[in-house]
Amino acid sequence: MSTVNILSGVSSDYLANSITNSKNTKTEGSGSFDELYQAAVNLISGTNGYIQQAQQAEIDYAMGKLTSTHELSIIEEKANIALQYTVAVKNGILDAYKEIMQIQV
């Protein structure tokens, strides 16, 4: 049951951790764009980490080091959710950019 809760909360915790990490590395004079940029970089780095973990788990399963298909599917699902969330954030940012570009001054 706890693994289901982990999977359902992965996306919201994922972004919250990215924003928290970017605030912890905040330097004097940095603005909100810098914070948003760092959060996006952390989001992408975290997604890459989940994908690499899933690839390694697949290799371990093929070599017999990982015998639980349940554990393999959880690792792969975390990577899938993280990737879907990253793509959704990217699409939202692009939509906002397009909206701003259509504003006439």
Which string of DSSP letters, residue by residue, matches the chain? -HHHHHHHTHHHHHHHHHHHHHHHT--TT--HHHHHHHHHHHHHHHHHHHHHHHHHHHHHHHHTS---HHHHHHHHHHHHHHHHHHHHHHHHHHHHHHHHHT---
Average pLDDT of span 53-61: 96
pLDDT category at 32 given cuts 50, 70, 90 is confident
pLDDT category at 37 given cuts 50, 70, 90 is confident
**pLDDT top residue among 43 and 33:** 43
Average pLDDT of span 14-33: 58
pTM of the model: 0.65
Token representation of residue 72: 């393999």
Give me the residue label for tokens 């990215």: 18
